[in-house]
């Protein structure tokens, strides 16, 4: 089977699909028209599919039955957009005001549809089965768990591959290395409870602004003095709200933030460590507090064997020179939930090309990609499935 010929044959289709989805973005768990379009494309290819029965009934699970017996592999693409107002002046600019595929999920859909076309054309040669997982709500960190609950596909699979278009890599480069790839992402909210009063009489108050400021300062030292400098940990306070008038000392303050890390040991301890720091500060100032801590995403860790399979696929699809080692990133990804129970690999498809303006960061209103890389991204999906099924036949 000559995958490269099939990749070239479907290049225009993949770009066409990318532009359609870019023009018609839908937010997390609102991807109803996106779901219909994906289902329609699979139907035209003769690929069976199911749409989740669980509300909101977005996302699609396709299935390609190979002509020969074998194992089962899944290929996953996320499909949701963001609350971003697009500023690109392009023919396929978002038509849904205030919504944009500013992270590249439109390319993920099109690459997986391209892989579906490739695999459907050679299905008689495939040793096993390939599930096509078009997942909603990655941006909420909820979509993977939602899809795992749908039917029996997740129990049936032996491996899973996913990828993300990546502006941090040059167009033409692909990273599929093993080990830590993306960080755990936790969310927290801190409420400080002091005692309000007149600005001229601070001795009669417990200043929530002062207490909150001390909390912010000391949580930064939590990283530098409690964890190894060889571990990657970030504690970020993204919002701080307190007070409503210049001459009133605030009695309450509220902060929200996120922690990122790779070590599971840190994940076990960081909430307790935060409680210890916040309690010590509040006790010193005579304030009370509440900490609400949510573990949203775990770290995304590529399996060694799966990464080797992906590297073989990369060499066949693009060539050895495209294989790019890349530092792990403290961004989060709900693909982690698949990898907690199944071996797999999460790859990064480089799309940066400053000459065409494809160098803005993810989630930026001018984010765009070099579309020339999409066909090879589709080839990576298809070739990973073939490599895995052939190796385990």
Q: Among all residues, which ones are annotated catalytic?
A: 80, 138
Q: Do the beta carbons of residue 87 and residue 171 sit within 8 Å?
A: no
The CA distances from residue 351 to 86, 177, 280, 367, in Å, are 18, 18, 47, 11
Residue 229: partners with Cβ closer than 8 Å, 6 or more residues away: none
The CA distances from residue 333 to 58, 165, 318, 363, 383, in Å, are 19, 13, 25, 14, 23
| Rounded Cα gap, residues 335 and 312, in angstroms | 22
| Rounded Cα gap, residues 76 and 67, in angstroms | 22
Which of 35, 25, 47 is closest to 136 using CA atoms? 35
């Amino acid at each position: 089977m000559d995958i490269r010929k099939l990749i070239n044959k479907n290049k225009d289709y993949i770009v066409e699909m990318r532009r359609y989805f870019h023009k018609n973005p839908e937010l997390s768990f609102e991807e109803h028209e996106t779901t219909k379009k994906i289902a329609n494309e699979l139907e035209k290819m003769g690929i069976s599919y199911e749409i989740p029965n669980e509300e909101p009934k977005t996302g699609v699970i396709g299935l390609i039955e190979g002509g020969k017996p074998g194992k089962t592999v899944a290929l996953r693409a996320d499909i949701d957009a963001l609350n971003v107002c697009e500023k690109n002046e392009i023919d396929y600019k978002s038509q849904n005001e205030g919504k944009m595929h500013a992270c590249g999920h439109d390319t993920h859909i099109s690459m997986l549809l391209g892989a579906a076309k490739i695999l459907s054309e050679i299905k008689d040669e495939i040793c096993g089965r390939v599930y096509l997982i078009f997942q909603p709500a990655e941006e909420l960190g909820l979509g993977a768990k939602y899809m795992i609950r749908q039917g029996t596909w997740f129990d049936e699979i032996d491996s899973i591959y996913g990828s993300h278009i990546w502006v941090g890599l040059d167009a033409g480069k692909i990273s599929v290395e093993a080990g830590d790839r993306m960080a755990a992402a936790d969310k927290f909210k801190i409420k400080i409870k002091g005692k309000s009063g007149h600005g001229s009489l601070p001795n009669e108050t417990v200043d929530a602004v002062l207490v909150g400021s001390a909390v912010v300062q000391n949580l930064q030292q939590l990283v530098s003095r409690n964890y190894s400098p060889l571990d990657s940990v970030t504690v970020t306070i993204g919002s701080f709200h307190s007070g409503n008038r210049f001459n009133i000392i605030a009695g309450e303050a509220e902060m929200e933030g996120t922690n990122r890390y790779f070590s599971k040991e840190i994940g076990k301890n960081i909430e307790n460590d935060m409680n210890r720091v916040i309690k010590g500060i509040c006790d010193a100032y005579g304030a009370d507090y509440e900490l609400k801590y949510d573990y949203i995403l775990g770290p995304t860790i590529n399996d060694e064997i799966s990464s080797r399979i992906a590297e073989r696929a990369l060499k066949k699809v693009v060539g050895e020179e495209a294989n790019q080692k890349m530092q792990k990133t403290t961004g989060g990804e709900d693909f982690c939930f698949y990898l907690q129970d199944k071996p797999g690999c999460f790859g990064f498809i480089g799309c940066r090309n400053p000459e065409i303006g494809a160098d803005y960061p993810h989630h930026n209103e001018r984010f765009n990609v070099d579309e020339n890389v999409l066909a090879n991204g589709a080839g990576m999906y298809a070739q990973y499935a073939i490599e895995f099924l052939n190796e385990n036949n």
